[in-house]
Amino acid sequence: MKIERIQGGVSLRRTIESETEEQRRAVLDIIAAVRARGDAALKEYTERFDGVTLDSLRVTEAEMERAHASMSAETLEIIREAAAHIRAYHERQKRQSWWMTNEDGTILGQKVTPLDAVGLYVPGGTAAYPSSVLMNVIPAQVAGVKRIVITSPPSKDGTLPAGVLAAAHELGVAEIYKVGGAQAIAALAYGTETIRPVDKIFGPGNIYVALAKREVFGHVAIDMIAGPSEIVVLADETARPDEIAADLLSQAEHDVRASAILVTPSMKLALAVASEVERQLETLPRREIAQAALETYGAIYVTETLDEAVEAVNELAPEHLEVMTAEPMALLGRLRHAGAMFFGRFSSEPVGDYFAGPNHVLPTNGTARFSSGLSVDEFVKKSSVIVYSEAALKQHGDKIAAFARLEGLEAHARAVEMRLKRERGER
């Protein structure tokens, strides 16, 4: 890994290559085809992109049961325990409708309503992610969403990963389709003969999935445009180089565009971590992916002081932030931007990916400066409730009408004044 000394004022935010016009046109063509030809287009694209011919798009109950039965009892117990932790955490996020009554009799409030239907995209490709099923489905269930749909690209034999189906089966999700890519997003947004449309689409994917989500936004809602995974480790000389190296590699193995960065005021630690990364890479099964990620998006930044290191981390605004310092929690108040923060050497990032309870769907590419991780809030909508009393309208009606005329909206003013005149006995 490259080691670089940095000082304050230097921008560390990385740039990810943007989509090409060719990619965007391809996505627009796919969306148009799915809207026009429905299931036929989905099957054609599945054959072209995934190399499999499907008679039926929907996963059958028998397939679900076979996948579930193929899992060992130990694996299923791990999935259940992880799900319990995730559910317990998200239950704390639930919002209730609320009401307030003013002295004049006016009632104001907010009605919290779960979305009717959501679509969850589970990526395929270089790895299978049953954890994504847990992290997306559970907050939807906690929110009270009635219809939860999963789409995922099939493998060459026409199946979905057993772990994905087993996790879905454990959670009681039965509506699952063997569709991936931009065509899956189009089907979730606009519907086909087999797949009914949803109200909001969740889940990461490749550049085509991301572009499709962007194109359908407005017709349906989306969670975010997810970028490659990121980790930043903030550490001082008390940290253990082998543990830091292991955690950096845990993100680098995700994708060739994943980012893994150490920020430290200790050159000694920086050199030791760089050496450890090279040593651990030798035996990593996904070595080629991790090495490519580190060569392009990996770095070790050495600052003069811990204060400068903290500011560098805030500039990076990473998806995952690990703090491995002598007193990690002492820095909590000064760390402003990160999707998830892990404090202390026992809080390795994979703990959050799978088991601790908080959601692992997090903002990437610096967007943690202004956005948050997936939560129950993303699966509900809030409606304002106004029951204005006669007394309140008499007291404030003239001011409301005046405000409307300030904006040049005479009909607004008259709508209020009509009621005032009637109550005053005027014509």
Residue 301: phi and psi, rounded to 5, are -105, 125
CA distances from 162 to 126, 169, 255 (A): 15, 10, 22
136 appears as a binding residue in the annotation: no
Location of each CATH 3.40.50.1980 domain in the chain: 2-16+228-356, 20-222
Hey, what are 221's tokens?
Answer: 């809602």
Please report the pLDDT score of residue 423 as a whole number. 75
- DSSP string covering 157-186: TS---HHHHHHHHHHT--EEE---HHHHHH
Taking the mean position of all CA atoms in its chain, how far away is CA 355?
17
Q: Is 179 left (phi over 0), alpha (psi -120 to 50) or beta?
A: beta
Task: Select from 278, 277, 267 the least CA-distant residue to 243.
Answer: 277
Please report the pLDDT score of residue 19 as a whole number. 76
141 appears as a binding residue in the annotation: no
CATH topology of domain 2-16+228-356: Rossmann fold (3.40.50)
Please report the pLDDT score of residue 16 as a whole number. 61
Give the separation between CA 349 and CA 346, rounded to whole angstroms. Answer: 9
- Each residue of 68-95: pLDDT tens digit? 999 999 999 999 999 999 999 999 999 9
Q: Is 271 left (phi over 0), alpha (psi -120 to 50) or beta?
A: alpha
Q: Per residue of the chain (427 residues), what is the pLDDT tens digit?
A: 899 998 765 567 666 666 788 999 999 999 999 999 999 999 999 999 999 999 999 999 999 999 999 999 999 999 999 999 999 999 999 999 999 999 999 999 999 999 999 999 998 865 678 999 999 999 999 999 999 999 999 999 999 999 999 999 999 999 999 999 999 999 999 999 999 999 999 998 888 999 999 999 999 999 988 888 999 999 999 999 999 999 999 999 998 999 999 999 999 999 999 999 999 999 999 999 999 999 999 999 999 999 999 999 999 999 999 999 999 999 999 999 999 999 999 999 999 999 999 999 999 989 999 999 999 999 999 999 999 999 999 999 999 999 999 999 999 999 999 999 887 777 6
CB 150 within 8 A of CB 195: no
Task: Select from 127, 139, 147, 140 the least CA-distant residue to 205.
Answer: 127
CA distances from 255 to 153, 154, 289, 290, 305 (A): 18, 20, 6, 7, 32
User: Please, what is the Cα angle at 204 between 223 and 163, to 5 degrees?
Assistant: 120
Q: Is 382 left (phi over 0), alpha (psi -120 to 50) or beta?
A: beta
Task: Select from 371, 361, 377 the least CA-distant residue to 94.
Answer: 377
Please report the pLDDT score of residue 422 as a whole number. 84
Please report the pLDDT score of residue 426 as a whole number. 74
90 appears as a binding residue in the annotation: no
Please give the model's pTM, rounded to 2 decimal places: 0.91
Give the separation between CA 330 and CA 350, rounded to whole angstroms. Answer: 23
251 appears as a binding residue in the annotation: yes
Catalytic residue among 320, 322, 337, 349: 320
Order across the sheet with 98-101: list the strands.
Answer: 98-101, 107-114, 380-387
229 appears as a binding residue in the annotation: yes
Please report the pLDDT score of residue 1 as a whole number. 87
206 appears as a binding residue in the annotation: yes
Q: Would residue 74 show up in a list of annotated catalytic residues for this protein?
A: no
CB 48 within 8 A of CB 54: no
Give the separation between CA 40 and CA 33, rounded to whole angstroms. Answer: 9
360 appears as a binding residue in the annotation: no
320 appears as a binding residue in the annotation: yes
What is the DSSP-derived secondary structure letter of residue 344?
Answer: S
Q: Would residue 320 show up in a list of annotated catalytic residues for this protein?
A: yes
Task: Select from 391, 390, 415, 387 the least CA-distant residue to 401.
Answer: 415
CB 161 within 8 A of CB 71: no
Domain covering 20-222: architecture: 3-Layer(aba) Sandwich (3.40)
Give the separation between CA 387 and CA 389, rounded to whole angstroms. Answer: 6
Q: For the CA atoms of the chain, what is the radius of gyration?
A: 26
Catalytic residue among 253, 319, 322, 349: 319
The residues, any chain, with a CB within 8 Å of residue 18's CB and separated by 6 or more, are none
